[in-house]
Each structure stands twice: as structure tokens, then as C-alpha cells.
Chains A and B, each alone.
Chain A
Amino acid sequence: MNQTDVNEKYMVAPFYVFFLVHSMQTGIGVLSFQRILAKSTGTDGWISILLAGLIVHSLIWVIYKIFSMVPGDILSVNHHAFGKWGGNLFSLLFIAYFLVLGSTVMVSYIQIIHVWMFEEVPAWSFSLVFLILIYYINTGGFRTITGIAFLSVMMTFWLAFVLFYAMKYSEFTNLLPVFDHSLLDIWTGTKHSALSMIGFELILMFYPFIKDAKASQKYAHGGALTTTLITVIVYLVSLVFYSQNQLVLNIWPTLTMTSIVELAFIQRFEYIYVSWWAIVIIPNITISLWAASRGFKRLFNVQQKYPLWGMSLIILIINIFFFDVDSLNILEKIINPYGVLFLVSYLPLLLVIIYIKKKRNRL
């Protein structure tokens, strides 16, 4: 395994971690999380989201704690904790996870384009366009990727305010009663809202690329906090906009909500929303593919572009041969619960193991 040292000219300022984390977290989840959350937790869903946010914050803390003891990225930490073979096995799991994450986002977004706009355009043509663009961004290196993440957050921030247009049809009694659900329900809701919260774990890969990385922790927390707050606001707006059963019926409540917007120059605003969402999606796929291919590069000592080609091909093949609702369900199942469960249990475990090792070495 080669060194994790990154040339300083490829590094980014700690401030950009905010955008990397936030843009990676916001993606497909925020369009559809309300439905499944409302099913289990209803009016108390916002508590579940806050709880999920809390878990995310503690995991970010865990990640920074790990790296303060063993600098580098997750691969070197795995190596350090479990030795060569065990470490590489877990590293491979992470690479697979990042790849699945990227393809899930891509397949979900193409499904949305299909349902809402162009049902007749084949999935592979969309994915081809995206993959070429993503490959292009990736060849620019991590600084370019950071730039894209920054641009994406800046260019899509206004989409959140569109939802306030929906307040015209708000029914505030829908927010009541509060604390109507058992703790178990709220916990189920927390698990369901995970898909709109994950993405922060990419720090595990790009940590060595941050200049003065320790100082970036507050920006990582800031990014996660922003995501949590936006998610809570989106959920509250959806609650007052829909009645309970209606919310459960809608697959993409956020998009359906924008279809109520009617402007003088455009009658159907959801088309703009769906198209603009591509800008939100692109850093999602880019960063996860970058992370997966970089992991591969570090593990097997190959040039990064070869795994990137391979992964792009895998995603393209998924889109050509397996594209349907069912395959999307399988991909989402892999991410949530299995991927999420893996993250939530593995990271604290890793911290404990490293801590014990360090203690023992000192003695």
C-alpha cells in the first residue's frame, strides 16, 4: 500500500468541507424521505430527523477522533487496526459501498426523470451523459470536485425557498398532536430518514486532501447541521401541506409540492425543479465515484482512471440491463439498512480498537 501523503497543491481549504459534506448529504433522499417517515412517525417525524442529525454529528466526531490518532484515510486506518488482510477486506467493503451509493443516486434520479418528464428516453442515454460529465470532472482532481460541490450548493440553495410557496395551502393543525408516537416509532423514523442524512462518511476518503484538516471539523459539523435543519424544514412544510394519508401516498412529496407553484411565465414549475435537481445530483455521484476509485487506486496501486472506467461501465450496465423499480429497491436496500448499519456500527468499533491499540503501544 502506498503512502497517503497528498501533495499540497491538490489540497483544499478546510472551509470547503462544509460544501463537500452538505452537497453529498443532500440528494435523492430529500425528495422522498417524507413518505416513509410519515408512515411510521407522522407528526413526530421531525424528532426522528433531529435524532438522526445527532447521530450524524456524533459519527463525524468519531471520524475526526479516529483521524487525530491515525492520520490518513479510512484505508490506512483499516490497515492500522486490522492488519493487511483484515484491513483490506474492510477497505473493499467501503469501496463497494461508495460505488453502490453512487449508482443508487444515479438510478433514482433517472427514475425521477422518467416518471416526471421523459418516459420514452432510455436510461442508458441519461447515464451515459452523466457518466461522461462525471469522468470529466474527476479527471480534474479533487480540487475540481470541491469546486463542483461548492457551485452545486450555491446554485441550488434557492430551491429550498420554492417550498414556501406551498404554504399557501397550509393547514397548521396537521402539526398537532406532538409526542403522539412511542419512542420505538420515533426510532423507526430515525432509521427511515437515514437515506437523506448519509453522505458525511465521504470524509473518510477525502480527509488527507484537506489542508489543516483538524481545523475543518467545525465546517463538517456545520454542513451536517445545515442538512439536518433543511430536512426538518422540508418535513414540516410537507406536514402542513399534505394531510397524513396523502403524504403517505406520494412517492416524491417534495416534487409534488412544487407542482402547486404557478408562475406567470411557467405554469408547471416541477419541470424546472426536476431538471435543476441534476445540479444537486452531480456532486453526489462524482464524489462517491471519486472515493470508490481512489480507494481502488490505493489498494491495488493502479492509476485512478482505470477503476473509474470500470465503475462507470458497471453503472452503465446496471442502467442498460437492470433498470427498473425493482433494481432500485434492491440498491436502496443495500444502502439502507445494510450500508447504514455497517457505518453506524463499524466506525465506533474502529475508534475503540484504535484507542486500545494506542494504549497498549504506549505501555
Chain B
Amino acid sequence: MRKLFPIILTCTILCSCAQPRVVDEVNMSQAIGYDILENDRIEGMFVIPIFQQEQMGKYQILSGTSSTTSDVQAAVSKKADKTVLLGQTRIVLFSEKIVHKIGMTELTDYLYREPQLGNRVLLVIVEGNVKNVINIKPPNSYVNIGIYLSNLINQQNETGNGPDTNLHLFLGDSLEDGGDAYLPIIKKRGKDVAVSGVALFHENKIVNKVQSKDMFVFKTLVQHHRRGVYKFKLNDKKKSDIVVESIRSGTKYDVSGSESHPSIRIKLKIKGQIKESMRSDNLTNRKMIKKIEQDMEADITKQATRLIKDFQKRNIDPLGLKEKFHAKNKRMTYERWKGMYPNMDIRVEAKTDILQTGVSE
């Protein structure tokens, strides 16, 4: 065995076979944006941090055009001093137009196929041009625009009204029959960028949007919440505003499997605390709390029913009711579901529980 030992030692030389990828010797993209140009070519933009001593948050944006999303990377690399690599990409932005022209399945094919990209990459739809959004200077100069945008979306998903999405979750929904999925929309407002709603997909295209004011209800319907904020008007003479912060929420779907009379009952449960009350009344009063709870329940039920009626009218199913129905009803096919869904009896029951009213009366 003595003879073999030197051979094993020389194996370490093989290490140099692999190409090292040192952080400041490559262009490490942290955000990608895709726009479509007039002549149907794709413009890709890469946000690349520049590492220099004592200069945090410096970055450059490289862009290039090509006819496919993966080729853009090569086109950009041609112009740059170092190759562009995607391993650290946090967020991918698509303009509404490119989704409309090309379709989401084709756009995400490359992202999902590429092992360099993680599955937690955020996908975001941009209202207007991606170029305008990606060229905004982030308000704090320590981060680049890519990290800033991904933090913005993450923060909204975790503690705001935005539904949690990423590449994995989006494809999970959109690869199913019908392809009903959702992604957050951002929009440039003056010098800032803000979440403006949720884009709803059906068969590869954006077909509808959930407005920013409906996002709380939408998120309650599709996911658990932690700290969403809900504002509504109390049903009394003054119509005063009440703001409730949800502490946790839960959704239960009761599906009746009967073929002749399919119905789904959605039970929403929200536990929250009062964040603000635009009225001078005493909030520790039990009656008052009861009233707020009841009014909030009525309001959420109304909003949720309105949203669902709208989904049914357009025959889109972002809530994933099809899978829930299929779980109870084995014989269901997508064709049958399409005929059944618009007239299905879907009822929402909301239950709210005010746990606390804050530190003041």
C-alpha cells in the first residue's frame, strides 16, 4: 500500500481542473430585469455589485439584448470585463409587456433549468418598464437596487400584505392545469418604487390584478398571515376608520365532494389587535370590541366574496380550489372543472377575534 500513497496524494493536483469563481473576479449578478423592445428583442439588465474598500453599495447595471433570456447573459458578458454569473441572484423582474408577448412558462424555463440559480429567487412583475425601476437610486446607499428590491418584497411578504412567492412556489402553481398562479407587482411612483398589487396568471398570461387595497384579503385566502394590516370603516353614523393588525390567520376549506351540487365553504379566522381607531370612544368596552369584530367580519366576508365572484367570472383560480376539490373528488378532470367552477357555490365565512387593543384605552 506504500506505493499507492503517492498516487493518492497527487490526486489533490486535480483540484485545479475546476474553474475557481472568486467573488471579485466575476460579475456577480444580484438582480436581473427583462424588458421587451419594440422589435420583439429581449433586453436584459443585470445589477452587479462592485466590491471596493470603504465603498459599500456601489454597483453597476449591465444590459444587453438578444432574442432569448439565456442568451442575454452571453450578450452582456461580451461587453463586460468579467463574465456574468447568476449564483447570487435574489430577484428577477419581468415587465408586464414581456409576459404578455412571450409567456411566463417560456420565460421561467431557463431560470428553473439553470442549476446556478436557487429556487428561492423572487419573481416580480413590473408595471411599466423594468428599466425605469432598476435605474432608481435606492433610498439608502448601503445596498444596491437588486438587494433593495428583494428586501422590499421579502419584507412585504413576511410582515405585510404581500403573498409569499418565489420561483419554486410560482412554478408549482403555474405548471398545473390552467396555470393559475400569482406574483407581486411593483411600480415606480415618482422617485420611489412600491408594491402596487398582485398579478394573477392564467394559462401563461397575466389576466387580472388584485388591487393593493384587496391584498390583505387575498393573502388571507391563499396563505397564513403574520402581520398584515387591514383598514376598514366602522358601520356607524360617523363611518370612522379602524385599523386592525392581524397577528395570525388561518384558512379552512370545506369541500363538498358531491358531483351534482359542488360547493366550497371557506372559513377565515383572523386573530388581531387594534392598531388605530379614529374615534374617541372607549375601546375597552366589551360591546365596542364586539361591534368592531362583527363589522370587520362582515367587511372581510364582503370583500372576499367580491374577489371570488370576480375570479369565478373570469374562470381563474388563484386560490388553488381545483386541487382542494380534486382531493375530495377523484373523478374530476380539468375540463369538467372549467365548466363547473364559474357557477360553483363558494361561500366565505370570516371569524375575527380581537386579542388586544394596544397600550392605550
- Partner of A256 from the list B11, B18, B19, B119 (CB cut-off 8 Å) is B119
A121 contacts B172, C-beta separation under 8 Å: no
B327 contacts A177, C-beta separation under 8 Å: yes
Known: A136-B1, A262-B120. A268 touches B87 (CB 8 A): yes
B residues less than 8 Å from A139 (CB atoms): 1, 4
Residue of B nearest to A258 (CB): B119
B residues less than 8 Å from A268 (CB atoms): 87, 118
B299 to chain A, nearest CB (A): 28
Say whether A242 faces chain B, with CB atoms less than 8 Å apart.
Answer: yes
- Partner of B172 from the list A176, A179, A242 (CB cut-off 8 Å) is A242
Known: A136-B1, A136-B4, A177-B327. A169 touches B168 (CB 8 A): yes
Say whether A4 faces chain B, with CB atoms less than 8 Å apart.
Answer: no
A267 contacts B17, C-beta separation under 8 Å: no
Q: Which of B69-101 contact A (CB under 8 A)?
A: 87-88
What are 14 of the A-B contact pairs (CB < 8 Å)? A115-B115, A120-B18, A122-B17, A128-B14, A132-B4, A139-B1, A139-B4, A171-B172, A173-B320, A176-B326, A177-B330, A244-B176, A246-B171, A268-B118
B residues less than 8 Å from A118 (CB atoms): 17-19
B119 contacts A249, C-beta separation under 8 Å: no
Q: Which of B153-200 contact A (CB under 8 A)?
A: 168-169, 171-173, 175-176
A177 contacts B168, C-beta separation under 8 Å: no
Say whether B22 faces chain A, with CB atoms less than 8 Å apart.
Answer: no
With the chains together, A135 CA to B11 CA distance in Å?
14
B residues less than 8 Å from A128 (CB atoms): 11, 14
B115 contacts A116, C-beta separation under 8 Å: yes
B165 to chain A, nearest CB (A): 11
Given A242-B172, A256-B119, 18 more pairs with CB closer than 8 A: A116-B115, A118-B17, A125-B14, A129-B14, A135-B4, A136-B8, A139-B1, A171-B320, A173-B320, A173-B323, A176-B327, A177-B329, A177-B330, A246-B171, A246-B175, A260-B119, A260-B168, A262-B120
With the chains together, A303 CA to B169 CA distance in Å?
56
Q: Which of A242-272 contact B (CB under 8 A)?
A: 242-246, 249, 256, 259-260, 262, 267-268, 270
A residues less than 8 Å from B329 (CB atoms): 177
With the chains together, A249 CA to B118 CA distance in Å?
16
Residue of B nearest to A262 (CB): B120
- Partner of A267 from the list B19, B88, B176 (CB cut-off 8 Å) is B88
A residues less than 8 Å from B172 (CB atoms): 171, 242-243, 246
| Contact-size category for A | 35 or more
Residue of B nearest to A43 (CB): B327
Known: A133-B8, A173-B327. A259 touches B118 (CB 8 A): yes
- Partner of B17 from the list A115, A121, A173 (CB cut-off 8 Å) is A121
- Partner of A260 from the list B14, B120, B327 (CB cut-off 8 Å) is B120
A249 contacts B14, C-beta separation under 8 Å: no
B residues less than 8 Å from A176 (CB atoms): 326-328
B8 contacts A245, C-beta separation under 8 Å: no
B324 contacts A132, C-beta separation under 8 Å: no
A residues less than 8 Å from B88 (CB atoms): 267
Say whether A156 faces chain B, with CB atoms less than 8 Å apart.
Answer: no
Known: A136-B4, A169-B168, A260-B120. A249 touches B175 (CB 8 A): yes
Say whether A327 faces chain B, with CB atoms less than 8 Å apart.
Answer: no
B176 contacts A129, C-beta separation under 8 Å: no
B residues less than 8 Å from A32 (CB atoms): none
A residues less than 8 Å from B176 (CB atoms): 243-245
A132 contacts B18, C-beta separation under 8 Å: no
A residues less than 8 Å from B120 (CB atoms): 259-260, 262
B-contacting residues of A (Cβ < 8 Å)? 115-116, 118, 120-122, 125, 128-129, 132-133, 135-136, 139, 169, 171, 173-174, 176-177, 179-180, 242-246, 249, 256, 259-260, 262, 267-268, 270
Contact with A along B119-156 (1 / 0, CB 8 A): 11000000000000000000000000000000000000
A residues less than 8 Å from B326 (CB atoms): 176-177
A residues less than 8 Å from B115 (CB atoms): 115-116, 270
The 4 A-B pairs with the shortest beta carbon distances in the complex, nearest first, are: A176-B327, A245-B175, A243-B172, A118-B18
Say whether B7 faces chain A, with CB atoms less than 8 Å apart.
Answer: yes
With the chains together, A256 CA to B87 CA distance in Å?
15
With the chains together, A259 CA to B87 CA distance in Å?
12
Known: A115-B115, A243-B172, A267-B118. A174 touches B11 (CB 8 A): no
Contact with A along B310-348 (1 / 0, CB 8 A): 000000000010011011111000000000000000000
With the chains together, A267 CA to B87 CA distance in Å?
10
Known: A139-B1, A169-B169, A242-B172. A132 touches B330 (CB 8 A): no
A177 contacts B328, C-beta separation under 8 Å: yes
Residue of B nearest to A249 (CB): B175
Residue of A nearest to B325 (CB): A173
B168 contacts A174, C-beta separation under 8 Å: no
With the chains together, A171 CA to B326 CA distance in Å?
14
With the chains together, A117 CA to B18 CA distance in Å?
9
B residues less than 8 Å from A169 (CB atoms): 168-169
B residues less than 8 Å from A132 (CB atoms): 4, 7-8, 11
B18 contacts A121, C-beta separation under 8 Å: yes
With the chains together, A262 CA to B122 CA distance in Å?
14
With the chains together, A83 CA to B81 CA distance in Å?
72
With the chains together, A267 CA to B90 CA distance in Å?
11
A243 contacts B327, C-beta separation under 8 Å: no
A272 to chain B, nearest CB (A): 13
Q: Which of B1-28 contact A (CB under 8 A)?
A: 1, 4, 7-8, 11, 14, 17-19
A295 to chain B, nearest CB (A): 24
A165 to chain B, nearest CB (A): 12
Q: Which of B31-88 contact A (CB under 8 A)?
A: 87-88
With the chains together, A174 CA to B175 CA distance in Å?
14
A residues less than 8 Å from B168 (CB atoms): 169, 260
B residues less than 8 Å from A129 (CB atoms): 11, 14
A residues less than 8 Å from B11 (CB atoms): 128-129, 132
With the chains together, A129 CA to B118 CA distance in Å?
29
B residues less than 8 Å from A179 (CB atoms): 330
B119 contacts A259, C-beta separation under 8 Å: yes
With the chains together, A268 CA to B117 CA distance in Å?
9
With the chains together, A118 CA to B16 CA distance in Å?
12
A266 to chain B, nearest CB (A): 11
B residues less than 8 Å from A174 (CB atoms): 323
